[in-house]
Amino acid sequence: MSKKLTTSVAIFILLVLIDQAIKYGFVFLNFGFESDCISLVLAYNYGVAFSMFEFLSEYLKFIQLALIACILIYLYFNKEVFLKYYIPISILMAGGLSNILDRFTYGAVVDYVYWHCGFDFAIFNFADVIIDFAIAIILYMQYKQYKEDKKRA
Protein backbone atom coordinates (compact mmCIF):
# COMPACT_ATOMS: atom_id res chain seq x y z
CA MET A 1 0.00 0.00 0.00
CA SER A 2 2.69 2.53 0.91
CA LYS A 3 4.50 2.16 -2.44
CA LYS A 4 1.25 2.72 -4.32
CA LEU A 5 0.37 5.66 -2.09
CA THR A 6 3.83 7.19 -2.62
CA THR A 7 3.51 6.71 -6.39
CA SER A 8 0.03 8.19 -6.28
CA VAL A 9 1.17 11.29 -4.38
CA ALA A 10 4.16 11.74 -6.72
CA ILE A 11 1.93 11.54 -9.83
CA PHE A 12 -0.54 13.94 -8.24
CA ILE A 13 2.09 16.55 -7.30
CA LEU A 14 3.87 16.34 -10.67
CA LEU A 15 0.68 16.81 -12.68
CA VAL A 16 -0.60 19.68 -10.52
CA LEU A 17 2.76 21.44 -10.84
CA ILE A 18 2.79 20.99 -14.64
CA ASP A 19 -0.78 22.24 -14.98
CA GLN A 20 -0.26 25.22 -12.69
CA ALA A 21 3.00 26.17 -14.44
CA ILE A 22 1.28 26.20 -17.83
CA LYS A 23 -1.59 28.28 -16.46
CA TYR A 24 0.86 30.68 -14.81
CA GLY A 25 2.47 31.16 -18.22
CA PHE A 26 -0.83 32.12 -19.80
CA VAL A 27 -1.93 34.39 -16.97
CA PHE A 28 1.34 36.21 -16.21
CA LEU A 29 3.75 35.58 -19.11
CA ASN A 30 1.34 36.11 -22.01
CA PHE A 31 1.78 32.66 -23.55
CA GLY A 32 -0.20 32.32 -26.74
CA PHE A 33 -0.32 30.92 -30.25
CA GLU A 34 -2.70 31.28 -33.20
CA SER A 35 -3.24 28.90 -36.10
CA ASP A 36 -5.99 27.85 -38.49
CA CYS A 37 -7.09 24.89 -36.35
CA ILE A 38 -5.96 25.44 -32.80
CA SER A 39 -5.20 28.53 -30.79
CA LEU A 40 -3.64 28.87 -27.39
CA VAL A 41 -5.38 31.86 -25.80
CA LEU A 42 -6.18 32.80 -22.23
CA ALA A 43 -9.80 32.40 -21.19
CA TYR A 44 -11.48 32.20 -17.80
CA ASN A 45 -14.25 29.67 -17.21
CA TYR A 46 -16.52 30.68 -14.35
CA GLY A 47 -18.67 27.57 -14.74
CA VAL A 48 -17.86 23.92 -15.24
CA ALA A 49 -17.67 21.98 -18.53
CA PHE A 50 -18.85 24.15 -21.44
CA SER A 51 -19.40 27.00 -18.90
CA MET A 52 -22.45 25.27 -17.41
CA PHE A 53 -23.54 26.43 -13.94
CA GLU A 54 -21.75 29.74 -14.38
CA PHE A 55 -24.42 31.28 -12.17
CA LEU A 56 -22.92 29.25 -9.29
CA SER A 57 -19.41 30.60 -9.85
CA GLU A 58 -18.99 31.86 -6.28
CA TYR A 59 -19.99 28.50 -4.83
CA LEU A 60 -18.50 26.05 -7.33
CA LYS A 61 -15.12 25.82 -5.61
CA PHE A 62 -16.81 24.75 -2.38
CA ILE A 63 -19.20 22.36 -4.11
CA GLN A 64 -16.29 20.78 -5.97
CA LEU A 65 -14.19 20.54 -2.79
CA ALA A 66 -17.11 18.78 -1.09
CA LEU A 67 -17.30 16.31 -3.99
CA ILE A 68 -13.55 15.64 -3.75
CA ALA A 69 -13.92 15.12 0.01
CA CYS A 70 -16.70 12.59 -0.63
CA ILE A 71 -14.49 10.74 -3.10
CA LEU A 72 -11.60 10.67 -0.60
CA ILE A 73 -13.90 9.39 2.16
CA TYR A 74 -15.19 6.69 -0.18
CA LEU A 75 -11.63 5.67 -1.08
CA TYR A 76 -10.64 5.61 2.58
CA PHE A 77 -13.40 3.11 3.35
CA ASN A 78 -12.89 1.18 0.10
CA LYS A 79 -9.13 0.81 -0.04
CA GLU A 80 -9.34 -2.02 -2.58
CA VAL A 81 -10.76 0.46 -5.10
CA PHE A 82 -7.85 2.81 -4.52
CA LEU A 83 -5.32 -0.05 -4.75
CA LYS A 84 -6.79 -1.19 -8.07
CA TYR A 85 -7.15 2.26 -9.65
CA TYR A 86 -4.50 4.30 -7.84
CA ILE A 87 -2.84 5.64 -11.01
CA PRO A 88 -5.98 6.91 -12.76
CA ILE A 89 -7.34 8.16 -9.42
CA SER A 90 -4.13 10.18 -8.92
CA ILE A 91 -4.41 11.63 -12.41
CA LEU A 92 -8.11 12.41 -11.95
CA MET A 93 -7.57 14.07 -8.58
CA ALA A 94 -4.65 16.13 -9.93
CA GLY A 95 -6.76 17.53 -12.75
CA GLY A 96 -9.76 18.18 -10.54
CA LEU A 97 -7.89 19.79 -7.68
CA SER A 98 -5.74 21.87 -10.01
CA ASN A 99 -8.88 23.35 -11.56
CA ILE A 100 -10.31 23.98 -8.10
CA LEU A 101 -7.04 25.69 -7.13
CA ASP A 102 -7.59 28.01 -10.12
CA ARG A 103 -10.96 29.04 -8.69
CA PHE A 104 -9.29 30.08 -5.43
CA THR A 105 -6.28 31.69 -7.14
CA TYR A 106 -7.80 33.38 -10.20
CA GLY A 107 -11.52 33.35 -9.43
CA ALA A 108 -12.19 30.98 -12.35
CA VAL A 109 -10.62 28.04 -14.15
CA VAL A 110 -7.85 29.09 -16.52
CA ASP A 111 -8.46 27.63 -19.98
CA TYR A 112 -6.27 28.14 -23.03
CA VAL A 113 -6.64 25.45 -25.73
CA TYR A 114 -9.19 26.54 -28.32
CA TRP A 115 -9.99 24.10 -31.13
CA HIS A 116 -11.62 25.77 -34.14
CA CYS A 117 -10.77 23.53 -37.09
CA GLY A 118 -13.94 22.75 -39.01
CA PHE A 119 -16.08 23.47 -35.96
CA ASP A 120 -15.78 25.48 -32.77
CA PHE A 121 -15.11 23.40 -29.69
CA ALA A 122 -15.06 24.38 -26.05
CA ILE A 123 -11.86 25.90 -24.75
CA PHE A 124 -10.03 23.65 -22.28
CA ASN A 125 -6.75 23.09 -20.43
CA PHE A 126 -4.24 20.39 -19.50
CA ALA A 127 -6.16 19.49 -16.33
CA ASP A 128 -9.28 18.79 -18.42
CA VAL A 129 -7.25 16.53 -20.71
CA ILE A 130 -5.78 14.51 -17.85
CA ILE A 131 -9.22 14.14 -16.26
CA ASP A 132 -10.51 12.67 -19.53
CA PHE A 133 -7.40 10.48 -19.77
CA ALA A 134 -7.95 9.15 -16.24
CA ILE A 135 -11.56 8.29 -17.02
CA ALA A 136 -10.47 6.52 -20.22
CA ILE A 137 -7.98 4.45 -18.19
CA ILE A 138 -10.67 3.50 -15.66
CA LEU A 139 -13.10 2.54 -18.43
CA TYR A 140 -10.41 0.46 -20.13
CA MET A 141 -9.55 -1.31 -16.87
CA GLN A 142 -13.26 -1.99 -16.26
CA TYR A 143 -13.69 -3.37 -19.77
CA LYS A 144 -10.62 -5.56 -19.39
CA GLN A 145 -11.97 -6.87 -16.06
CA TYR A 146 -15.36 -7.54 -17.65
CA LYS A 147 -13.75 -9.55 -20.45
CA GLU A 148 -11.70 -11.58 -17.93
CA ASP A 149 -14.76 -12.24 -15.77
CA LYS A 150 -16.78 -13.27 -18.80
CA LYS A 151 -14.02 -15.64 -19.93
CA ARG A 152 -13.93 -17.31 -16.47
CA ALA A 153 -17.71 -17.79 -16.35
- The beta strand positions in 9-133, using DSSP E, are 38-45, 109-115
SS3 58: helix
How are the residues of the chain apportioned to helix, strand and coil, as percentages rounded to the nearest 5? Answer: 70, 10, 20
Q: Which among 34, 61, 69 is positioned nearest to 45, based on CA atoms?
A: 61
- Which residues, including other chains, have CB under 8 Å from residue 61's CB and lie 6 or more apart? 100, 103, 104
Q: Which of 36, 128, 132, 149 is catalytic?
A: 128
Residues 108 and 29: beta-carbon distance below 8 Å: no
Q: Is the dihedral of CA 58, 61, 64, 66 positive or negative?
A: negative
Q: Which of 19, 36, 102, 111 is catalytic?
A: 111
120 catalytically annotated: no
111 catalytically annotated: yes
Catalytic amino acids?
111, 128
